Chain A
Amino acid sequence: MAATTESVRADAAEAPLLNKKNLILGSLVYVVFYAWVRWYEGIYGWSAGLDSFAPEFETYWMNFLYIEFVLEVATAGILWGYIWKTRDRKVMSITPREELRRHFTHWTWLVMYAFAIYYGASYFTEQDGTWHQTIVRDTDFTPSHIIEFYLSYPIYIITGGAAFLYAKTRLPTYQQGLHLQYMVAVVGPFMILPNVGLNEWGHTFWFMEELFVAPLHYGFVFFGWAALGVMGVVNTEVAAIAKLLKKDLA
């Protein structure tokens, strides 16, 4: 153990392989932000979210929707644009240590993607079930949908897109083409958002009640399977990292 401590300490002067501050800060952003969102739902869901024709619905829910649309488009544009604009044009000539550092940064993005997927696909989607099985809907933009479809889904799309772009623009592992399972893991859950169109069409013209296992919802199921593509990403990463670690020691 003493040898371990000494050898690791010798590298302390250079930038750390894993930037723990970014990892912790990023995690806190998701957890604190969604805690605030849940608080907002709890307060304004019942007091202002039951009747879409009421003025307070416009104040507390439709304005929330308009603001989140603008912020999401801006965030996606700026974040994805920044990652692409600052891409490494000589990615194949980086040192093994720099490559390892970038794998850590890539995994920081993937951890954020895990937070985003959890809140989007698990927390807010099942929450939508209890809200709509309890409250009769009179609009497509219910309080539950404004959070689930138009906030948590775009957030995991933005996060997944950022992780994929980071890998594609900075890691030699992903330069031989487009990683099929990675694309599936990012594009599949992305397709859940357009599938909202089918959901709303069905609920508008077919039935207003909420039966969660209705075939109308199967599009969400199909695209949810795509999350399993993360296993292909893990396999690729494990092989790449093992290769980096097993080379001759410097």
Chain B
Amino acid sequence: MSASQSAVRSRAEAVKVSRTFDWLICFTLFFVVLGGYHIHYMLTGGDWDFWTDWKDRRLWVTVAPIVSITFPAAVQAVLWWRYRLPFGAVLCILGLLLGEWVNRYMNFWGWTYFPVNFCFPSNLMPGAIVIDVILMLTNSMTVTAVLGGMAWGLLFYPGNWPVIAPLHVPVEYNGMMMTLADLQGYHYVRTGTPEYIRMVEKGTLRTFGKDVAPVSAFFSAFVSILIYFLWHFFGKWFGGTSFTQSS
């Protein structure tokens, strides 16, 4: 067989081989990205994502979008710019949510017995859909970073609002005013995470009073834009096919 000959013997076999590789590649890409993204997200924003009594109006809204736009930007940089596949961000978020939901059910509930309505993950899907659609329609990294990154930050809180709102209603408990989510935290004691570690609505400059969530979302959107730029180029590098020289 000469070097110019094909490895397959018919066009039909070429199609079959190609489709089989597609499945193997999709599976591997999905789960490896899931693993890398999940360990990144759980260790940079995880505490706000684990527990409802951490899901506040200020730091959760600020931190979660900033640290979660990373992998979507990097994967988009390969899937769109090399293959014109417009679902890099959705792929990342589907992976992350699968990893999180399996964990919250099997381990947070199944091993340490926290109810799922206390430890469900944040919803990042609205931002992912919007940022993918913006990239597909504009075919521009800059527009996606600015408009998509902005949308990523701004949509996070509204996207989670239907789930978290019932847990943010005020309750009075033993003479103290708190949210229902705080009450969950009091009842489900995490001995390894005492109250002094919890970072919820810290800070004294509450100039904007009731506008805590919008201000936080706006700041988060601003930083998300910058992080998108940075991680787009990270993604380009990670998608490289360079070899080191043999000695």
Given contacts A8-B13, A122-B99, A129-B50, contact A247 B32 (CB under 8 A): no
Q: Pick the contact of A235 from B11, B191, B192, B241 — CB < 8 Å?
A: B241
| B208: interface (CB < 8 Å) | no
For chain B, which range describes its interface: under 10, 10 to 19, 20 to 34, or 35 or more residues? 35 or more
Q: Pick the contact of B29 from A108, A177, A217, A231 — CB < 8 Å?
A: A231
CB distance from A32 to the nearest CB of B (A): 16
Task: Establish whether residues B107 and A224, one from each chain, have CB atoms under 8 Å apart when the complex forms.
Answer: no
Task: Establish whether residues B241 and A126, one from each chain, have CB atoms under 8 Å apart when the complex forms.
Answer: no
Q: Pick the contact of A249 from B11, B17, B71 — CB < 8 Å?
A: B11
Given contacts A131-B112, A179-B243, A245-B18, contact A221 B28 (CB under 8 A): no
Number of CB contacts from chain A to chain B under 8 A: 272
For chain B, what secondary structure do more than half of its interface residues adopt (helix, strand, loop), or is it mixed?
helix
| A15: interface (CB < 8 Å) | no
Q: Pick the contact of A218 from B13, B43, B46 — CB < 8 Å?
A: B43
Q: Pick the contact of A176 from B5, B48, B235, B246 — CB < 8 Å?
A: B246
CB distance from A202 to the nearest CB of B (A): 13
| B180: interface (CB < 8 Å) | no
Interface of chain A residues 99 through 125 with chain B (CB within 8 A): 99-100, 103-104, 107-108, 110-111, 113-115, 117-118, 120-123, 125
For chain A, what secondary structure do more than half of its interface residues adopt (helix, strand, loop), or is it mixed?
helix
Task: Establish whether residues A246 and B6, one from each chain, have CB atoms under 8 Å apart when the complex forms.
Answer: yes
CB distance from A23 to the nearest CB of B (A): 8
Task: Establish whether residues B28 and A113, one from each chain, have CB atoms under 8 Å apart when the complex forms.
Answer: yes
Kindly list 20 other residue pairs between chains A and B, CB separation below 8 angstroms, not including A129-B42, A232-B238, A234-B78.
A4-B12, A10-B9, A111-B27, A117-B34, A118-B32, A121-B35, A121-B39, A122-B103, A126-B42, A180-B240, A181-B240, A181-B241, A209-B197, A213-B63, A227-B32, A234-B29, A235-B239, A237-B21, A245-B14, A249-B8
Chain B residues in the interface with A (C-beta under 8 A):
1, 3-18, 20-21, 24-25, 27-36, 38-40, 42-48, 50, 63, 71, 74-75, 78, 82, 99-100, 102-103, 106-108, 110-112, 114, 119, 190-194, 197, 234-235, 238-246
